[in-house]
Structure 1
Amino acid sequence: MNIPATHERLRFNMIEQQIRPWDVHDPDVLALLAEIRREDYVPTVHRALAFFDMELPLGNAAMPGQTMLAPKIEARTLNDLKVQKHESVLEIGTGSGFMAALLAHRAAKVLTLEIDATLAERAAATLARNGVTNVEVRHADGSKPLASGPTFDVIVLSGSVARIPQGLLGSLNIGGRLAAIVGNEPMMRAHFVTRVSEGQWETTQPWDTIAPRLLNFPEPSPFNF
């Protein structure tokens, strides 16, 4: 496939003007962002905006509001997780499949869950078309426990939640990390939770951002007494 020169210029500008200034300095992550064609995962109608610093609608009328996260959010999350080649990853919120593709190039295998059947099917097809073979896309509600109860080295929530889902922490292996954007507008914060031992977790909150909600995770009551 011939890649338009304009895409390469836009990709370079995305990395140098949006992503690197956002404290993404891992050379392997930067090289991966230059290699994986983000435009392949963007709905055709929005492909001209693939490299812009913005969320992009994924265009499913049955479940409106589903979006692709801004490039710098995906890049910084990948940078801070430090995913290793032997590790297993669970992603909740497949969306376009782009984050799953990035994770797949860093990890041994990725299971990604998407609540929207149309998006799950589309993401699986896009990943296959781009030669990504170590990702399983599963149509499932990520807010519900996994039936088989597997554990993972890395868990990524590709969207925001009101609070860290405590049930997911038990699905981390020792040394495993969970990444989630937590809070409410107008300010949310990235949380990275590491399981350091059987009953101990450590949390860092290195940066602020805003991201759309993942569906069906608990929300706090609006009433205060």
Structure 2
Amino acid sequence: MTTSLPSPSDTQARELARYNMIEQQIRPWDVLDPRVLELLSQVRREDFVPEAHHALAFVDMEVPLLGGTEEALASGRCMLAPRVEARMLQDVDPRPYEKVLEVGAGSGHMAALLGKLSLKVTTLEIEPALAAMARDNLVRAGIGNAEVREADGSRGLPGEGPFDVIVLSGSVAEVPHALMEQLSQGGRLMAIVGEAPMMRATLITRTGPSSFSTTQRWDTVAPRLRNFPEHSRFRF
């Protein structure tokens, strides 16, 4: 069986779409770190998108990974929009000597970006099919310092911390204190926190043995990560 190679015109179209994604979606969202912008031009986002949704690889929206669009968004089985991933990556600012934990591997795209900027990434995925997808995608992309584990990420990895960077690739009602406790001194946790239609990108930094500082950077909406606690909808 032979595999057809993309034509020069197909390659040019993808590169133009990638350029437009960076210049028209990502840079206007105040993503100006040269490391991040260069990385987004190097790591092929389309290689982490299911074949059925390749046309959505560079579109300003979440990309379904399993099931139909509505089902994927409702269950969190999707990639975050390009500008959201890029801004989270810039704000959490991983460094080449740092150890990273990601919750919500999805297709492995964020783990690939984190892996390019850090020493080691462990990414947790509760959905078996997505864990397998992420693992395969990372191998094909040649990312050798990112490990995918099929696991419930709501508790993190308490026995393997501390971590210099923790990224929650999805939204939560609130960040569990147990995850914050897995940060190293000076470590940062990036999450999208709140309830639709208003969520805030939140950066938590460990400033001492039992102290943390929190800044809320920008507004967005993202699908929920599974098994994280929700606020009660009842009020007394």
The reply to whether TM is greater than 0.5 is yes
Instruction: Tell me the residue number matched to 2:115.
Output: 104
Of the three residues 11, 26, 32, the one matched with 2:33 is 26
Alignment of 1:85 onto 2:96: yes
The one-letter code of the counterpart of 2:165 is V
Instruction: Tell me the residue number matched to 2:173.
Output: 162
Instruction: Tell me the residue number matched to 1:213.
Output: 224
Structure 2 residues without counterparts, runs of 5 or longer? none
CA-based RMSD of the aligned residues comes to: 1.4
Instruction: Tell me the residue number matched to 1:143.
Output: 154
Of the three residues 121, 125, 132, the one matched with 1:114 is 125
Of the three residues 1, 9, 13, the one matched with 2:16 is 9
1:60 touches 1:119 (CA, 8 Å); kept in 2?
no
Of the three residues 37, 41, 45, the one matched with 1:38 is 45
Percent identity (aligned)? 56
Higher share of residues assigned helix: 2
1:60 touches 1:118 (CA, 8 Å); kept in 2?
no
Deviations 1:57-79 (A, max 9, x none): 10158x85311100000000011
Q: Work out the CA distance in 2 between the residues paired with 1:185 and 1:12.
A: 31
Of the three residues 201, 206, 210, the one matched with 1:195 is 206
Deviations 1:114-166 (A, max 9, x none): 00011101110110011000001000000135362421000000000001111
Structure 1 residues without counterparts, runs of 5 or longer? none
Q: Which moved more, 1:45-54 or 1:2-11?
A: 2-11
What is the CA-CA distance between 1:31 and the residue it aligns to? 0.2
The one-letter code of the counterpart of 1:185 is A
What is the CA-CA distance between 1:167 and the residue it aligns to? 0.6
Aligned residue-pair number: 224
Please give the TM-score of this superposition, normalised by the length of structure 1: 0.96
1:15 touches 1:33 (CA, 8 Å); kept in 2?
yes
Report the secondary structure of 2:28's partner residue.
helix
Q: Which moved more, 1:138-147 or 1:25-34?
A: 138-147
Q: Work out the CA distance in 1 between the residues paired with 2:37 and 2:93.
A: 13
Report the secondary structure of 1:153's partner residue.
strand
What is the CA-CA distance between 1:28 and the residue it aligns to? 0.8
1:154 touches 1:178 (CA, 8 Å); kept in 2?
yes
Alignment of 1:74 onto 2:74: no
What is the CA-CA distance between 1:46 and the residue it aligns to? 0.4
